[in-house]
Amino acid sequence: MKVFSLFNAKTKKGVEGRTQSLNRIKTAFSKDDRVIWMHAASLGEYEQGLPVLEKLKEEFPMHKVLVTFFSPSGYENVVKKTNIADSVCYLPFDTQKNISEFLAQINVELFFTVKYDYWYNLLRELKNKGVKVFVISALFYESQSFFTLYGKWFVKQLQANVDWFFHQTKHSYLLAKSLGLVNASVTGDTRFDRVKHLKHRDNHVELIEEFIGGEKVVVFGSSWNAEEKIAKMIYGKNQEVKLIIAPHDLKRVENLKEIFPDAILYSNLKNSQTLRLSNAQTLIIDSIGLLSKLYSYADIAVVGGGFHSSGLHNILEAATFGLPVVFGNQYRKNPEADNLIQSEGGRSFENENEAAEFVLFLLNNEEEQKRMSENAGKFVAEQPDSSELILKKILSF
């Protein structure tokens, strides 16, 4: 990483950020503070762990909270807006010296990592100090290193150092059990707990209704190039539908302005005349934090990341509002995508043309759109209260 940071700005941020981690916790905690520590690889894992962290904080209000990240994308998004953590920093590089020095500064009573970010020295040193160690929303799959010839060594470390695995799926649970990781239970995906609350909050976004003007709406959430191609195809074949595009990175806004020269930017909505608002077909979201609210205005959602290896973005935020969800078929690490498809609330496609044609079909088929909408909403609503199940088990320790 140190070598790669010379050529990559994101990696450089992570390397430089780690030099500040020790000072951050020294400032935030005294040796007498009792600490709950959550580690997440990046932003997605943080969102999965947060419902559990919130419940633990309710249960232990006098404990302080530490959140660490491996990735700059997680750290930079959370450090600016979190109000639950007393300190947010990068996880030190996993050498015995780094970890021992880090742990010597804080009195950790409970630690959990999210999904599958395991670090040998970290877990070993935590266990040596008598800390209770858990894995939240654990996800095992066949191509992991645990199932290779040298995977037994990794498994032994997990057997020795992790008190309990909370699995997202039964498949993950059975795979882990086949390795001998038997301290485990299936508790589901904690992200469902979080998205269930979204539809009951105030989801009003200023001037969006004026832009929609009573027409049908397709929201493109966290779009990449592939999803923007889909939007362009729909734009060319259906002049009545309203398109709202929220790119995964605001750097894509300039590209979107070239693709849709007649589009309105969200930042310019207040300066647009009502007549122009209702006549415009495309709205480009050039600010962050609005996407989950925008889904409440949609009839159909197209979620980004599934047409390439970068990883599918959050489809549950759309599904909780009872939307048919359309996405690409490259989502190996997203079991919720398969489950949503099986529930007939979502569809995945191999290429952009097929996805665009299906969206156009739904726009002209009220009955099928309604059926998928009901299935998507039901799929989310019927999921178990995962974080409550996890909390009860943790308290038993």
Q: What is the pLDDT of residues 363-377, one digit of tens each?
A: 999 999 999 999 999
120-173 pLDDT per residue, tens: 999 999 999 999 999 999 999 887 888 887 788 888 999 999 999 999 999 999
Phi, psi dihedral angles at 359 (to 5 degrees): -60, -45
* pLDDT at residue 81, as a whole number: 66
Are 56 and 94 part of one and the same domain?
A: yes
In the DSSP assignment, the letter for residue 67 is E
204-229 pLDDT per residue, tens: 999 999 999 999 999 999 999 999 99
Are 365 and 388 part of one and the same domain?
A: no
Other CB atoms closer than 10 Å to residue 249's CB: what's the count? 10
Are 356 and 212 part of one and the same domain?
A: yes
Are 376 and 389 part of one and the same domain?
A: no
Are 193 and 206 part of one and the same domain?
A: no
**CATH number, position 187:** 3.40.50.11720
DSSP-derived 3-state class of residue 112: strand
CB 221 within 8 A of CB 318: yes
Query: Taking the mean position of all CA atoms in its chain, how far away is CA 62?
Result: 28
Looking at the predicted structure, is the pLDDT value of residue 77 above 90? Answer: no
Are 156 and 296 part of one and the same domain?
A: no
> What confidence category does residue 274 fall into, taking pLDDT thresholds of 50, 70 and 90?
low
Strand partners, 136: 114
Q: What's the half-sphere exposure (Cβ side, CA atoms, 13 Å) at 376?
A: 27
284-293 pLDDT per residue, tens: 999 888 999 9
> What confidence category does residue 275 fall into, taking pLDDT thresholds of 50, 70 and 90?
low
* pLDDT at residue 76, as a whole number: 72
Both structure tokens of 64: 């302080």
d(CA 291, CA 285): 9
Number of folded domains that form the chain: 2
**CATH number, position 281:** 3.40.50.2000
* pLDDT at residue 379, as a whole number: 96
Among the residue ranges 13-17, 138-142, 179-183, 245-249, the one predicted with the least confidence is 13-17
CB 177 within 8 A of CB 155: no
d(CA 317, CA 292): 6
Are 252 and 175 part of one and the same domain?
A: no
Are 162 and 208 part of one and the same domain?
A: no
In the DSSP assignment, the letter for residue 154 is H
For residue 57, give the amino acid letter: K
Q: What's the half-sphere exposure (Cβ side, CA atoms, 13 Å) at 213?
A: 15
Are 132 and 253 part of one and the same domain?
A: no
* pLDDT at residue 324, as a whole number: 98
Spell out the residues 6+ positions from residue 52 whose beta carbon is closer than 8 angstroms to its own.
Answer: 38, 112, 136, 190, 387, 390, 391
5-45 pLDDT per residue, tens: 778 777 777 777 778 888 999 999 998 999 999 999 988 89
Both structure tokens of 197: 């609350």
In the DSSP assignment, the letter for residue 33 is -
Q: What is the dihedral of CA 48, 52, 55, 61, to 10 degrees?
A: -110
Phi, psi dihedral angles at 29 (to 5 degrees): -125, 145
Are 193 and 213 part of one and the same domain?
A: no
Minimal CA–CA distance to 169: which of 153, 157, 158, 185? 185
Say if residue 395 is exposed, middle or buried (CB neighbours under 10 Å; 0-12, 13-18, 19+).
exposed
CA distances from 342 to 243, 355, 360 (A): 27, 17, 21
d(CA 256, CA 226): 12
d(CA 250, CA 213): 26
CB 47 within 8 A of CB 78: no
d(CA 111, CA 184): 16
Are 250 and 182 part of one and the same domain?
A: no
* pLDDT at residue 71, as a whole number: 82
Degrees, nearest 5: CA angle 215-216-217: 115
85-134 pLDDT per residue, tens: 999 999 998 999 999 999 999 999 999 999 988 999 999 999 999 999 99
| Domain coverage including residue 231 | 200-380
> What confidence category does residue 80 fall into, taking pLDDT thresholds of 50, 70 and 90?
low
Are 106 and 157 part of one and the same domain?
A: yes
309-365 pLDDT per residue, tens: 778 999 999 999 999 999 999 887 788 999 999 999 999 999 999 999 999 999 999
